[in-house]
């Protein structure tokens, strides 16, 4: 893994710092990396964390000179200890916002009590929560699905919705073809919401999430 470049790791003046959590290919992370390369976006990726080593998402971060960390559940006695360790690893970077972008673990009270976390999900919540949202939408026979960026709470994909984009389900769609089309719009939605949320903050009142 490439060592962080001191020049790129230093916070840019006036930009909002974020930590991104990933578990896989990291195409959403890449969209954030690409957006953050433009100073006008006003967001700096301080670090990328993962729940497993060796994934493409970590390689994308390293290639961009972004510090990385790995926090594996199996290295801790229980989920509470893992959650506390993850909160500390994130906290080192003092982010304004934490972004769960394809991070396949449920975050616990240590992380959620300390940081505002937003997650991207490949369905129009509250439809099709959970790890198989695209497969579930096809199996149900839905004609429209999409993606949701929401504030993370203690439940599974139950937090207040910030923004959503609809995607048509085609008769000949497979899980893979539909997920690829969703991810194309998901990247744009995530970049837009993360930029605004990191720079301006997210307010939740009576389940209504707004960015001033």
Q: Which residues are catalytic?
A: 121
CB of 3 to ligand GRF, least distance (A): 24
Calpha distance 35→30 (Å, rounded)? 8
Q: What is the C-alpha end-to-end distance of the chain, expressed in Å? A: 38
Q: Which stretch binds ligand GRF (CB under 6 A): 18-26, 46-54, 162-170, 203-211?
A: 18-26
CB of 186 to ligand GRF, least distance (A): 6
Closer CB to ligand GRF, 90 or 178, in the complex: 178
Q: Closest Cα to residue 138, out of 85, 111, 178, 166?
A: 178
Is-contact 120 100, C-beta < 8 A?
yes
Binding site as annotated, residues: 26-28, 79, 104-107, 119
CB of 107 to ligand GRF, least distance (A): 13
195 near ligand GRF, rule: CB under 6 A: no
52 exposed, middle or buried (CB, 10 Å; 0-12, 13-18, 19+)?
Answer: middle
Using CB under 6 A, list all residues that contact ligand GRF.
22, 24-29, 57, 101-102, 120-122, 183, 186
């Amino acid at each position: 893994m490439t060592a962080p470049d001191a020049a790129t790791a230093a916070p840019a003046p006036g930009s909002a710092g974020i930590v991104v959590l990933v578990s896989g290919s990291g195409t959403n992370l890449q969209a954030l990396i690409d957006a953050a390369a433009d100073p006008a976006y006003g967001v700096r990726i301080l670090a990328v964390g993962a729940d497993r080593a060796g994934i493409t998402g970590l390689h994308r971060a390293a290639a961009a000179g972004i510090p990385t960390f790995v926090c594996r559940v199996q290295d801790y006695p229980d989920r509470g200890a893992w959650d506390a360790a993850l909160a500390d690893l994130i906290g080192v970077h003092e982010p304004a916002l934490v972004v769960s972008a394809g991070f396949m673990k449920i975050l616990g009270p240590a992380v959620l009590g300390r940081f505002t976390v937003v997650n991207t999900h490949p369905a129009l919540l509250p439809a099709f929560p959970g790890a198989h949202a695209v497969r579930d939408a096809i199996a149900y026979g839905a004609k429209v699905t999409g993606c949701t960026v929401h504030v993370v709470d203690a439940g599974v994909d139950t937090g207040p919705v910030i923004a959503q984009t609809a995607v048509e389900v085609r008769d000949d769609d497979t899980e893979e073809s539909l997920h690829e089309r969703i991810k194309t719009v998901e990247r744009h939605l995530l970049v837009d919401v993360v930029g605004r949320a990191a720079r301006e903050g997210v307010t939740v009142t009576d389940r209504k999430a707004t960015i001033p």
